[in-house]
Amino acid sequence: MKPSPLRDKSASFAKSIILATRAMRENHIESALTNQLLRCGTSVGANIHEAQFAQGGRDFVAKLDISLKECNECEYWLNLLKETDSIAESDYKDLMNQCTELRRMLLSSINTMKSKDSQ
């Protein structure tokens, strides 16, 4: 499998999410919130990885669209955790920066594929 910055970034993001949710659980933060963040945060990379084995351009874009939705959901849970003082400010900023970077990369990849399909 050839190198993929998007796949690498999403794996790094998933690791950061796992470590952050582990720390929150140790601090007895509401498990329903941390479970939701863990699910969507790791799902971003899982769908990107799955897209590498897509059955054509449309399937590839569909998988990346799912990753984009999961990325947006991460932002929701991160904001909720911040607003309830359940996540350290430094962790919040780091995770949001990673999430924003992933979202931009996903949008760029999706738009590139869609423009190729329309040609």
Give dist(CA 8, CA 118) in Å, integer: 28
Give dist(CA 34, CA 106) in Å, integer: 24
* Amino acid 36: pLDDT: 96
Residue type for 26, please?
Answer: E
Neighbours of 30 (CB within 10 A): 14
CATH 1.20.1440.60 fits 5-113, yes or no: yes
Decide if 96 contacts 75 (C-beta within 8 A): yes
Report CA dihedral (45, 47, 52, 55) to the nearest 10 degrees.
Answer: 180
From first to last of the 119 residues of the chain, give the pLDDT tens digit: 678 899 999 999 999 999 999 999 988 888 888 999 999 999 999 999 999 898 988 999 999 999 999 999 999 999 999 999 999 999 999 999 999 999 999 999 999 988 876 66
Q: Name the residue with tokens 């869609």.
A: 114
Sequence spans of domains, the chain: 5-113
* Amino acid 28: pLDDT: 85
Neighbours of 116 (CB within 10 A): 10
pTM: 0.92
Question: How would you classify residue 70: left for phi > 0, otherwise alpha for psi between -120 and 50, otherwise beta?
Answer: alpha
CA angle 37, 4, 51 (to 5 degrees): 65
